[in-house]
Amino acid sequence: MVDMKYILDTEIKLISLHTTIDTIGYTMGTFVGLTYKWLNRQIVMAIAFIMMSGLYACTPLLTSLWQLYLFSFLFGFGSSINISGFIVWTIELWQPRSAPVLLLNSLGFGLGTIIGTAVTSMYTTGNIEPDKPLVPVDVRRDRLTVPSLFPSHHW
């Protein structure tokens, strides 16, 4: 998020609020589970997943702090829809044998967090030291865009 601090030209404490807003969206998204009596769960989860994919891909292109907050809220909202739908679905399908499947999901999340950070670390500039020159915002944005959008001109 240090790169986003420079791209959006703001303070790191304002950037770090996006996790709180993400959590608010996550909490609000849990209530979508109440609509599964009337809405098809598969379609709702698919729409949420497509929305999350688009938000993730467009995050490096943000130009203001309110856009980051909006994306964080919507990403948390969609994430909650998918996780709660998956958990309920797994329990319905596997019933007493659902615990290992749910634990595999948690393992996959943990591994994805580690691998995702390792893969994207080469594209982030990170913290700027006072004695080093500032990397231009366009360079930071281009480097963050590579793992998010995979533009063909970078391959």
- Residue 152: the pLDDT is 45
- Residue 139 pLDDT: 73
Tell me the C-alpha distance between 25 and 74, whole Å.
Answer: 6
- Tell me which residue has tokens 């698919």: 46
d(CA 74, CA 21): 9
CA distance 109 to 101: 13
| Alpha-carbon torsion (123, 127, 128, 131), positive or negative | negative
Contacts of 135 (CB under 8 A, 6+ apart): 6, 125, 128
Query: Over the chain, what is the mean pLDDT?
Result: 84
Condensed to tens digits (0 to 9), the pLDDT of residues 56-72 reads 888 888 889 999 999 99
- What is the mean pLDDT of the segment spanning 66-91? 94
Of 23, 25, 78, 74, residue with least CA distance to 47: 78
Neighbours of 24 (CB within 10 A): 15
Q: What's the confidence (pLDDT) of residue 149?
A: 53
Reported pTM: 0.77
| Residue of 119 and 21 predicted with greater confidence | 21
Burial letters 46-77, b for 16+ CB under 10 A, else e: eebeebbeebeeebbebeebeebbbbbbbbbb
Average confidence (pLDDT) over 112-116: 87
Query: Given this model, what pLDDT does residue 155 score?
Result: 37
pLDDT of residue 153: 44
CA 68, 70, 72 angle in degrees (round to 5)? 65
